[in-house]
Amino acid sequence: MKILVPVKRVVDYNVKVRVKPDQTGVDLANVKMSMNPFCEIAVEEAIRLKEKGVAEEIVVVSIGPAQAQETIRTALAMGADRGILIQTDDAVEPLAVAKLLKAVVDEESPELVVLGKQAIDGDNNQTGQMLAALLDWPQGTFASDVEIADGKAKVTREIDGGLQTLSLTLPAVVTTDLRLNEPRYASLPNIMKAKRKPIDTKAPSDYGVDTAPRLTVVKVTEPPKREAGIKVESVAELVDKLKNEAGVI
């Protein structure tokens, strides 16, 4: 079985994001970038399935600038087999990403697509669902457990009311949640081996996909700063302020 794992290059989750002075977007100059954490979980799950003998090949695909090769190399060092970079310097919206991934699926014919439920930059949580719709494949989102057997994927997904278990007939799309696994660190020997693993570079035009944006960013602003708290002398004063100033009771 072949597994396709899309990964995204994003601002590292430890970095404090800064907005550009002209409010046109996020300042990426001299900012540390890394693999989206949910994508790391997807890569780890694919590797675990391969270690169990369920999968034979893991193909990692990323859409972004030339520097996204570093993100693919990280996945290869973790244990993926080869990579595909669809190189573009433009911001690609979720629908265009889903269309590009569909074209890759048509070309690679994987039995399973595993991807993060969302990226921590846009937080859209759309690509997996859109890809499943375009492919007309069953989908299991927010997965906290995945089991593959007899041509089916048993997916336990996290929902508001608890857990829901689905049985999906392969091929299928699965999006990963935080509690699915804990990604491994790549060892130095595997990092060196990853340098020799192949990465094919493509362009969106190679797949005949129009990536022109459908949305216009009007303005990007930082959230309002929290105001300092105050101390009260008694419970009665606290209740009075909650009632008459905060208006919450």
pLDDT in tens, 48-65: 999 999 999 999 999 999
Peptide bond into 189 cis (omega under 30): no
pTM (2 d.p.): 0.86
Cα of 26 vs its chain's centroid, Å: 18
Exposure b/e, 218-239, CB count within 10 A at least 16 = b:
eeeeeeeeeeeeeeeeeeeeee
Query: Hey, which CATH number is domain 2-221, 3.40.50.620, 2.60.120.620, 3.30.2130.30, 3.90.550.10?
Result: 3.40.50.620
Residue 201 to residue 132: CA distance in whole angstroms: 24
Beta-bridge mates of residue 155: 146, 166
Name all contacts of 11-17 with Cβ < 8 Å and 24+ positions apart: 11/120, 11/121, 13/37, 13/120
Residue 247 has pLDDT above 90, yes or no: no
> Residue 83's pLDDT band (boundaries 50, 70, 90)?
very high
Domain boundaries along the sequence of the chain: 2-221
> Do 190 and 209 meet the contact criterion of CB atoms below 8 Å apart?
no
> Residue 246's pLDDT band (boundaries 50, 70, 90)?
confident
Residue 229 has pLDDT above 90, yes or no: no
Name all contacts of 148-151 with Cβ < 8 Å and 24+ positions apart: 148/1, 148/49, 148/54, 148/112
How confident is the model at residue 4, as a pLDDT? 98
